[in-house]
Amino acid sequence: MFLTQGLARAATINPNVPATINRERRRSWAECAERVARLAGGLVARGIQPGDRVAILALNSDRYLEALFAVPMLGAIIVPLNTRLAPAEIGYILADSGTRMLLLDDAFLHIPAQADMAAVTDLLYLGDGATPAGMTAWEDVLGAPYTTDTPAGGDDVAGIFYTGGTTGKSKGVMLTHDNLVSNAAMMGPACGYRSDSVYIHAAPMFHLADLASIFAITMVGGTHVFISRFDPADLLSEIARTKVTNVLLVPTMVNAVANYPEIGKYDISSLRVIPYGASPMPDAVLKKAAEVMPHVRFLHVYGMTEASPLATAMDLHIEPVGKRLQSCGRPAMLVDVRIADAEDNEVPRGTVGEVQLRGPNVMKGYWNMPEATATALRGGWYHSGDGGMMDEDGYVYIVDRMKDMIISGGENIYSAEVESAISTLAGVAEVAVIGIPDERWGETVHAVVVPRAGAVVTPEQVIAHSRTLIAGFKCPRSVEIRNTPLPLSGAGKVLKTDLRAPFWAGRDKKVS
Amino acid sequence: MFLTQGLARAATINPNVPATINRERRRSWAECAERVARLAGGLVARGIQPGDRVAILALNSDRYLEALFAVPMLGAIIVPLNTRLAPAEIGYILADSGTRMLLLDDAFLHIPAQADMAAVTDLLYLGDGATPAGMTAWEDVLGAPYTTDTPAGGDDVAGIFYTGGTTGKSKGVMLTHDNLVSNAAMMGPACGYRSDSVYIHAAPMFHLADLASIFAITMVGGTHVFISRFDPADLLSEIARTKVTNVLLVPTMVNAVANYPEIGKYDISSLRVIPYGASPMPDAVLKKAAEVMPHVRFLHVYGMTEASPLATAMDLHIEPVGKRLQSCGRPAMLVDVRIADAEDNEVPRGTVGEVQLRGPNVMKGYWNMPEATATALRGGWYHSGDGGMMDEDGYVYIVDRMKDMIISGGENIYSAEVESAISTLAGVAEVAVIGIPDERWGETVHAVVVPRAGAVVTPEQVIAHSRTLIAGFKCPRSVEIRNTPLPLSGAGKVLKTDLRAPFWAGRDKKVS
């Protein structure tokens, strides 16, 4: 299997349907396929060969999509960079991956002056302005169409996706053509993507949560809409303008949209399915979202970069109720999921253990890290590091990242459960729960709460409300009320490492 | 990817849902998965090793399904035999495939006495009666569960499926685990299969048209219902009794059901989607079927054994109208489809050429036929031999069988094989076999025979002679004796188009 097969299919079945809508710029699938082939040809003309790494540091756009197909088309490897990284981190990844060519848009033109660019010999400009000195404009790369009788594919690496490393070093997840295609083949049906779908890229494209839909929507011949970065008003406006049917959002984004005061002014009746994942969705947020968007099916999915990323999903035709509202669904079509103990033995249903995966979507390994690869894939299963349990009918519940689990007085406390309880208190806009050091208990539960504009929430209210919903030992012992948003990662996840840092300074755990 | 992953998934997500309903015998997915592992263990105990061939000659049943999983589970190769073959043909396939073990049900207990069984050393009995002498009952095969850390899969051959040969010899299509799993992964969504689907095996299971749903329905955790052979009353009765949602039928079966006088007596409201294919559906039949089953979505699919079998399908969410009623849909998700000329160059849309395919579902090759394999897969594309065209939106229309295959009642009949048989009758000089239109069967086999000078040949002799050599369904239904030579092309080939013309006048197919 090879990535550009989906592109060819889209051009075959929907040649005249819009492939990309980037503000006022629209291109059909016939145009898009032709441009990608010409871009791949142009990259070859610039000396890019199979196996070479080409990095991209850019906000969401149609050109980002073109790069994601053109680079793997010729057998080279795309390296999408996290847009929130510091220059030193970018320099590390460019050097670690041995990137030869870097694609930049207007938001990142300052990077070459600040980051170590020793290995990079070619800079391409993805923007619409005047081409900066020393760079080549994307439109000028277009050359003679790339053709081959033996397309790159199968076990060839198509992309390297750097994830935040728990040991301080970012790890490059190698995903092959087969990984990404098999993910797209099961993710499209799981999320209800079809040949008339219109998907908007609102979450950052460098992250697999959104990037996977580049391939899944293309494979079904749907339409891609782009906004450069997430903004509730911009998102709602583009949904109304382009009749968007699907968008993957992380819970913080669902929260922002559902609580956007003027949501009622936009016609979002075209929306059909919103897959959400990447972090737990508090009950109150899901309830609010369902209230303001009653015609939308919110679909819990779960995955990780190492799985390209889909691991589990709710069945599209089964509306979850009761405790299953908190389930992230059942194993995706081609994926074996098991919950195992520390010795990699499967545990009985209902018992918490580590979520482990096996399937054609599981990564080839970490770039240049044979030991980390062997550890992560030992016994043929990917060890996610996530704590979870599976019920009698195969529904999976993620109780926490193992590293986000709080151990207080010997009890395991899952921050997601505590966050979900606190989120239902009136006036709470955002909440994050972490473990902080305690002489007696090892750790105690600490909550950081951001009230809604104009609302007053006190620590006493938070603790009292928690006591009505969860066991006493799970309730926060301390609460900070803050009036600034919680720190978010590039992928929109709350940066708990930043919240924990002041408490754990000088200690050797929990900070990373 | 490996075939039993789908079985494991079904047992994970729907352990207590019925896996198989065979009349009064019901087994859950947990039971089914356990039985398959124990059967695989039992087969190993009987000496079956990875790569060994195990053939099955049986009507549809739950045990047939168990064999289809148990044999590939241990890395062996299942060889499902066409139930209509003559003993000589079965003997040929057993010898050609080097089959060691043969599975038989009650309908085929006479075969060992009539066919060449030289290579077969073990006979298993799939029936419920007293176990015949020299055979072992299926229930007695159950042993200790088969387990492995490195499941057979990927490019390993899982099954060999013999199709009628164009040169008189049947060809064994080798399908790998990856072939069959990738087909199931795209076929399930294409046909609307989901975790609450109930599928009835009414078409013969040895044929990929039905057999593919063994894997596709299992992968989604649905339920399989079995009737031993197609019968309209039995089918309708079981649909009502077991609340069937899906069934794949060939057009002659749709015709029989739609015109069954007492259809109104059965509650078939549970039916959702009926994929149909394998031969053209006359407009009148589709119209009638839609009239008597207005709640059912009839879905045109197209494929062939060499593609495991799915090549194209209508979109489930697009109701075809106008000329698209005759389209077999658009390329399936992972399949590249092109229409090419005799030099393998793609032709413009709307032009008739050969349908060619590329994808993870395309066969590894023909068993022990490297030259036929190289020819069929030259340039990396499978050459179907079917004439077709593609319209501007990727919809495919099959207009002719370039290899002169006759499709009668859903069975593929290769005229060359029939011609080869007839040619051995004393007094026959020339023979050409064509398909002629038939209201009930779609086509029937018609032979045009030119006797040698001075010889007398009668239609009755031709039919009787055929019956001694080939299966009944392949024998001509009508014979024309003519005393002028057959029309030939400049290259010396019989102009079958000319022979067909009078029969197909006024119809829009088969003449060209």
Last residue of a domain, one of A175, A191, A223: A175
Half-sphere exposure of residue A368: CA atoms within 13 angstroms, side-chain side: 12
Q: Given pLDDT bands bounded at 50, 70 and 90, which one contains residue B510?
A: very low
pLDDT tens profile A203-230:
999 999 999 999 999 999 999 999 999 9
Q: Is residue B350 part of a domain?
A: no
Residue A302, H or E segment: strand A297-303
Q: Given pLDDT bands bounded at 50, 70 and 90, which one contains residue B387?
A: confident
Q: How far apart are CA A65 and CA A80, in angstroms?
A: 11
Q: Is residue A397 part of a domain?
A: no
Which segment of A369-383, B376-390, B401-415 scores lowest on mean pLDDT? Answer: B401-415
Q: How far apart are CA B62 and CA B25, in angstroms?
A: 9
* β-bridge pairing B122-125 and B101-104: parallel
Q: Given pLDDT bands bounded at 50, 70 and 90, which one contains residue A510?
A: very low
- Residue B512: predicted pLDDT: 31
Q: Given pLDDT bands bounded at 50, 70 and 90, which one contains residue B430?
A: confident
What single letter denotes the amino acid at residue B442?
Answer: G
Q: How far apart are CA A111 and CA A248, in angstroms?
A: 29
β strands within A177-264, DSSP E: 198-201, 223-226
With CA atoms as reference, report the closest residue to A150 among A75, A47, A53, A218. Answer: A75
Contact flag B13-A392 (C-beta cutoff 8 Å): no
Q: Given pLDDT bands bounded at 50, 70 and 90, which one contains residue B168?
A: low
Number of domains in chain B: 2
Find the distance separating the first CA and the last CA of chain B, reported in whole Å. 42
Question: Domain limits at A453?
Answer: 409-504
Q: A330 in contact with B at a CB cutoff of 8 Å? A: yes
Q: Select the more confidently predicted residue: A70 or A284.
A: A70
Contact flag A333-B8 (C-beta cutoff 8 Å): no
Q: Given pLDDT bands bounded at 50, 70 and 90, which one contains residue B421?
A: confident
pLDDT tens profile A299-310:
999 999 999 999
What are the helix (H) ranges across A62-166? 62-73, 87-97, 111-114
Q: Is residue A140 part of a domain?
A: yes
Q: Report, as an integer, the average pLDDT of B261-279.
A: 93
CATH code of the domain containing B135: 3.40.50.12780
Bridge partner list, A302: A312
Residue B161, H or E segment: strand B157-163
| A232: pLDDT strictly greater than 90 | yes
Task: Output the CA torsion sign for A310, A311, A312, A317.
Answer: positive
Q: Select the more confidently predicted residue: B339 or B255.
A: B339
With CA atoms as reference, report the closest residue to B236 among B214, B258, B219. Answer: B258
Q: Report, as an integer, the average pLDDT of B255-282.
A: 89
Name the percent of chain B lying above pLDDT 90: 74
Q: Given pLDDT bands bounded at 50, 70 and 90, which one contains residue B494?
A: confident
- Residue A409: predicted pLDDT: 75
Task: Output the CA torsion sign for B137, B73, A184, A164.
Answer: positive
Q: How far apart are CA B461 and CA A304, in angstroms?
A: 70
pLDDT tens profile A9-56:
999 999 999 999 999 999 999 999 999 999 999 999 999 999 999 999
- Under 8 Å between Cβ of B6 and B217: no
Which segment of A183-192, A398-407, B16-25 scores lowest on mean pLDDT? Answer: A398-407
Q: Is residue A212 part of a domain?
A: no
Residue B69, H or E segment: helix B62-73
| B490: pLDDT strictly greater than 80 | no
| A165: pLDDT strictly greater than 50 | no
Task: Pick from A333, A338, A346, A381 the residue to mutate for testing the B interface (most B CBs within 10 Å).
Answer: A333
| B269: pLDDT strictly greater than 60 | yes
- Residue B231: predicted pLDDT: 95
What are the helix (H) ranges across B105-176? 111-114
pLDDT tens profile A114-154:
998 988 999 999 999 999 999 999 999 999 999 998 889 99
pLDDT tens profile B200-249:
999 999 999 999 999 999 999 999 999 999 999 999 999 999 999 999 99
Q: A196 in contact with B at a CB cutoff of 8 Å? A: yes
Nearest to B13 among A12, A13, A393 (CB): A393
Residues 6+ apart with CB under 8 A from B415: B404, B405, B406, B432, B433, B434, B435, B445, B496
Q: Is residue A423 part of a domain?
A: yes
- Residue B166: predicted pLDDT: 39
Last residue of a domain, one of A175, A208, A229: A175
Last residue of a domain, one of A144, A175, A206: A175
Q: Report, as an integer, the average pLDDT of A236-243.
A: 98
Å from B320 to nearest chain A CA?
14
CB-CB neighbors (< 8 A) of B392 in chain A: 15-16
Q: Is residue B172 part of a domain?
A: yes
Q: Rounded to 5 degrees, what are φ and ψ at A177?
A: -55, -50
- Under 8 Å between Cβ of B67 and B78: yes
Nearest to B185 among A8, A16, A334 (CB): A334
Q: What angle do CA B289, B291, B297 make, to 5 degrees?
A: 60
Contact flag A196-B317 (C-beta cutoff 8 Å): yes
What single letter denotes the amino acid at residue A274?
Answer: I
CATH code of the domain containing B427: 3.30.300.30
Q: How far apart are CA B241 and CA B245, in angstroms?
A: 12
Burial class (CB within 10 angstroms; exposed 0-12, middle 13-18, buried 19+) of A263: middle
| B414: pLDDT strictly greater than 80 | no
Q: Dihedral of the CA atoms A45, A47, A48, A51 (nearest 10)?
A: 140
Q: Is residue B92 part of a domain?
A: yes
Which of helix, strand or coil describes residue A276?
strand
Which residues, numbered 150 to 179 in chain A, qualify as contacts with chain B under a Cβ-Cβ cut-off of 8 Å? 150
| A511: pLDDT strictly greater than 80 | no
| A267: pLDDT strictly greater than 90 | yes
CB-CB neighbors (< 8 A) of B317 in chain A: 194-196
- Residue B282: predicted pLDDT: 66
β strands within B342-483, DSSP E: 353-358, 365-366, 382-390, 396-401, 405-408, 411-414, 428-438, 442-451, 478-481
Residues 6+ apart with CB under 8 A from B222: B10, B193, B194, B195, B196, B197, B198, B199, B246
pTM of the predicted protein model: 0.85
Contact flag B333-A185 (C-beta cutoff 8 Å): yes
pLDDT tens profile B342-356:
899 999 999 988 999
* A-to-B residue pairs, Cβ atoms closer than 8 angstroms: 99
Q: How far apart are CA B127 and CA B353, in angstroms?
A: 47
Contact flag B315-A1 (C-beta cutoff 8 Å): no
With CA atoms as reference, report the closest residue to B250 among B472, B409, B406, B82. Answer: B409
Task: Pick from A357, A393, A396 the residue to mutate for testing the B interface (most B CBs within 10 Å).
Answer: A393
Q: How far apart are CA B271 and CA B293, in angstroms?
A: 9
Find the distance separating the first CA and the last CA of chain A, reported in whole Å. 38
Residues 6+ apart with CB under 8 A from B27: B18, B19, B20, B35, B62
DSSP string over A362-377: S-SEETT-HHHHHHHT
Q: Is residue B79 part of a domain?
A: yes
Which segment of A182-191, A470-479, B41-50 scores lowest on mean pLDDT? Answer: A470-479
- Under 8 Å between Cβ of A425 and A461: yes
Q: How far apart are CA B485 and CA B489, in angstroms?
A: 12
